[in-house]
Amino acid sequence: MQSVCVFCGSSPGLDPAYTEAARSLGRTLAKANIRLVFGGGHVGLMGVVSNAAIEAGGEAIGVIPKFLVERELAHTSLTDLRIVGSMHERKAMMSDLSEGFITLPGGTGTLEEFFEILTWAQLGEHEKPCGLLNVAGYYDSLLTVFDQMVNRGFLSEPNRDLVLVESEPERLLQRLESYQPPKTAKWIDRSET
């Protein structure tokens, strides 16, 4: 694996564990010679993970829409900063540049990015691993929702298994690197016609 996209908050959150996990992830990627691809901002967990990767000798590619650059949110000390026209272009480019995805804690934007990339995996648009770094139990409630989706017939077990979950960056990265995409039908209940 040569590059991993990290989705994360533009805020650091309230628990210092989130910042420490972002810092650890950035260092872990650099140590493994894996290029970081991220949203290109210098604020919040985005700034922490990218700074840690760069300080550890790694590469960081930021992808940011022009309107966020104009708000002075762009990280200007990256290996490569790509400016795009929209949030849609940002996600598409981040996906194209990456071989896997890790989601740190974040808000609605972080979840939107994660869910879009996970949906693309479900639909067979890509076969790249999608991981949640469940720092201090941050995603416990979301994982319960996934299980409820399975139990109520809206998500198949194989599609539930697309979500790789670990609480430590090193373990999650190992799972991404050894990931084998499932070879199953994408639909829960599709009658033959």
Residue 182 lies in a domain: no
- Confidence grade of residue 85 (pLDDT, cut at 50, 70, 90): very high
Q: Which percentage of the chain shows pLDDT scores above 70? A: 95
How far apart, in Å, are the Cα atoms of 53 and each of 45, 79, 155?
Answer: 12, 10, 35
The mean pLDDT of 3-29, rounded to a whole number, is 97
**Whether the Cβ atoms of residue 40 and residue 7 lie closer than 8 Å to each other:** no
pTM value? 0.93
Residues 6 or more apart whose Cβ sits within 8 Å of residue 148: none
CATH number at residue 118: 3.40.50.450
Each residue of 24-77: pLDDT tens digit? Answer: 999 999 999 999 999 999 999 999 999 999 999 999 999 999 999 988 789 989
Domain span at residue 38?
A: 3-177
Q: Is residue 62 part of a domain?
A: yes
> What is the rounded distance in angstroms from the CA atom of residue 73 to the CA atom of residue 56?
22
Name the pLDDT band for 191 (thresholds 50, 70, 90): low
Rounded mean pLDDT of 17-23?
A: 98
Question: Is 183 within the bounds of a domain?
Answer: no
Residue 105 · residue 18 · CB < 8 Å: yes
In DSSP terms, which residues pair with 81 in a beta bridge? 62
Q: What domain count does the chain have?
A: 1
Of 178, 175, 90, 91, the residue nearest 133 (C-alpha): 175
If you average pLDDT over residues 159-186, what whole number do you get?
A: 90
Confidence of residue 92 (pLDDT cuts 50, 70, 90): very high
Position 18 in a domain: yes
- pLDDT digit string (tens) for 101-123? 999 999 999 999 999 999 999 99
Residue type, 33: N
Inside any domain, residue 46: yes
pLDDT of residue 193 exceeding 50: no
Above pLDDT 90, what percent of the chain?
88
What sections of the chain are H helices per DSSP?
A: 16-31, 44-55, 66-69, 87-96, 108-122, 140-151, 157-160, 169-177
In a domain, 190, yes or no: no
